[in-house]
Amino acid sequence: MARDPRYDILFEPMKIGPVTAPNRFYQVPHASGMTNALPRVRAGFREMKAEGGWGVICTGACSIDPSSDDAPLPFATLWDANDMRAHELMTEAVHRHGALAGVELWHGGASVMNRQSRLPPISPSGIPWMATHVGFMGNLRPRIMDKSDIRQVLDWQREGARKARSAGFDVVYVYAGMGYLGYEFLLPEYNHRTDEYGGCIENRVRFVREMIEVTKEAVGKDCGVALRVSLEELRGRPGRNQPSEAHELVELLADVPDLFDVKMDSSPTDCSASRFTGEGSHEPVIDFVKRMTRKPVVGVGRFTSPDTMVSQIRRGVLDFIGGARPSIADPFLPAKIREGRVEEIRECIGCNICISSWHDGVPVRCTQNPTAGEEWRRGWHPEKVPQAKERQKVLVIGAGPAGLEAALTLGRAGHEVTLADKGRAFGGRLSFERTLPGLAAWGRVVDYRLGRLNEMANVSLYLESEMGVDEAMDLAPDHVLIATGARWTPMLYSPMEIPVGRLDHPTIFTPDDIAAGRMPSGPTLVFDYDNYYYGGVMSEHLARAGVPVHYATPAGHASAWTIMTNELPLVAKALTARQIETTTLHCLTSFDGETAVLSHIFTGEKKHVSCRSVLITGLRLPDSRLADAFAAREADWREAGIRSVTAIGDALAPGAIAHAVHSGHLHARNLGNPGAAQSFRRDTPITDRIEGFAFSAAAE
């Protein structure tokens, strides 16, 4: 299919100083959880994006010195010859497809705790970042940088840039955003200096300018130099000669870097979840930059629509369409636009499960793209599934996220697939969840898969088709996959931090009741120990329907796990906006239809909440009724010719939607090969480039 000419502008080559990107699709630096300890996993992950048409592919934050140590969070390093070779794997892979490779050199300054190196952090004036999330907390405060420290950091940047160029990078970054060292010089809250590096904006910009200058000196004339800078706070501060200090910063540096990469100041605003923020949300903050510089500008905004991309360019907002999350969800997004296959784009849903991977310290996960991070490890490709050596008949029971993904993957492998669901709509849990406040974009998980399944002649789809063992045997499949999901329970929660006991009362609800249309009629206590989005979003859902809500949780915050997805502060704001009272650190202990009794998880102190109903979002258990029925009649179905019956997704182990999709994909890929499910290649660091290194000596 021919490309829509409206999108031709997206495929124009663009210069970044002395180098030229093949198009305007720019995978900006983003965390992947793939450090130098996983160099082949990282190279495979980045290469897939280059194969898919992204013109520039960048690393995540790459430390220039052990004094910038983010452990135990995953971070890359560029310290020695081994690091250079590890990065070479990525640059070589990216170059194979004609893309440019970029590296985000990084010093964390006061925002890192140097837990591993045990070196004191450094900052312009000794002002630390005092995080409220335990994963970022530390008790080692930074030391104040003197002039020799500034010169030393400039030397580290210069040497890092030299190593980066030797490793094959085409674009080298100076990072002045997200609370890191360059940013700390820009903001007066961090920078209390009275010398030429502090005070007025001209002085506060000096360090960043010098970082750019030494980088240019180091990389020579055949490598681009980019500045990544956060503008949100500075945009809100009036300038002396410009509307804001952000304007003044760009004016002062307009001709210094080869490219401006502009972003927000904190993760909740920089990569906000779709539940709270729409596509292109950065524009009000960064829209002025292109008017003040002749250099190209790249920015992000969870861009998934090619029309929005073109609009950003034609209206003079951006030159490059930056992508982090959309490039994970669909590495082939540019290729699909180029080839006129826009309807096949696997759109990012903005759930931010990818960001939680970094907080967890593991390679990136994606709800939409189960192959993310598995490119080298398992040999998975997001667009290609190996054709089955033996075409088999497969019955998939349940058309939720796991069932849809399994059917799609099986269909692509060439199997004859029947997908049956007892409901009136495809989507399983998402049929309801996509209707909840802010979760409409999550419906893309269903829409993308249904769109592809409806194109396949070897896949048959059936609704309102409840399947039992006899019905399955009548269809005579070779294999059965059970994707019947999970059910919420009304179990309570113990100070031992495990689900225990349950409440029985006519006005005790679970989310399954609400999904079925059974709504509470009066003031309701939502008791949440699931800790992800469900308790918060169900509270909003009830409040939107006019039900007074009191939210309670044994955790320290509402929807506590959403700190991992950058949503925690936005959840708190949403509950406040709905006038939902919140009680933390309390367990529900009793309810008599008029009063719920909460007990402090540590002290046991009681709190009484007047309410007519209680909604518990806590423990989900697999809906194993069908699996149990098959287990009881194994002899019958084996005699009927069925070779295997396997539970997948939530029916196997309840989790986030990303877990269900990955489970469906994994089992479909490995159908007929039971031993393959647990097999993947283990990556290892590169250590052979250190002169005189010997494993025996290291062991001693």
* Positions marked active-site: 180
Contact at 8 Å (CB) between 546 and 519?
no
Give, for 477, the enclosing helix (H) or strand (E).
Answer: none
What is the C-alpha to C-alpha distance for residues 390 and 402, in angstroms, rounded to an integer? 23
Strands (E), 90-154: 100-106, 122-123, 143-144
**DSSP string spanning 306-355?**
HHHHHHHHHTTS-SEEEESHHHHH-TTHHHHHHTT-GGG--------HHH
**How do strand 620-622 and strand 486-488 relate by DSSP bridges?**
antiparallel
CA distances from 287 to 257, 282, 290 (A): 18, 8, 7
CA quadruple 373, 376, 382, 387: dihedral sign? negative
Helix, strand or coil, per DSSP, at residue 211: helix
What is the C-alpha to C-alpha distance for residues 298 and 317, in angstroms, rounded to an integer? 9
What is the C-alpha to C-alpha distance for residues 530 and 537, in angstroms, rounded to an integer? 12
What is the C-alpha to C-alpha distance for residues 500 and 85, in angstroms, rounded to an integer? 52
Q: How many CA atoms lie within 13 A of 577 on its CB side?
A: 13
What is the C-alpha to C-alpha distance for residues 63 and 111, in angstroms, rounded to an integer? 13
Q: Which of 352, 353, 214 is nearest to 271 (CA)?
A: 352
| Virtual torsion, Cα 268, 332, 664, 433, nearest 10 deg | 40
b/e per residue, 419-443, with b = 16+ CB within 10 A?
bbbeeeebbbbbbbbbebbbbebbb
Helix, strand or coil, per DSSP, at residue 102: strand
DSSP state of 2: P
Enter the tokens of residue 679.
Answer: 């097999």
Place of tokens 């679970």: 510
What is the C-alpha to C-alpha distance for residues 377 and 52, in angstroms, rounded to an integer? 19
What is the C-alpha to C-alpha distance for residues 125 and 123, in angstroms, rounded to an integer? 6
Contact at 8 Å (CB) between 177 and 300?
no
Place of tokens 């592919």: 57
Collect all residues with Cβ–Cβ distance below 8 Å to 632 and sequence separation of at least 6. none
CA distances from 478 to 42, 208, 391, 468, 672 (A): 37, 64, 10, 16, 10
Collect all residues with Cβ–Cβ distance below 8 Å to 578 and sequence separation of at least 6. 539, 540, 543, 544, 549
Enter the tokens of residue 87.
Answer: 């990065």
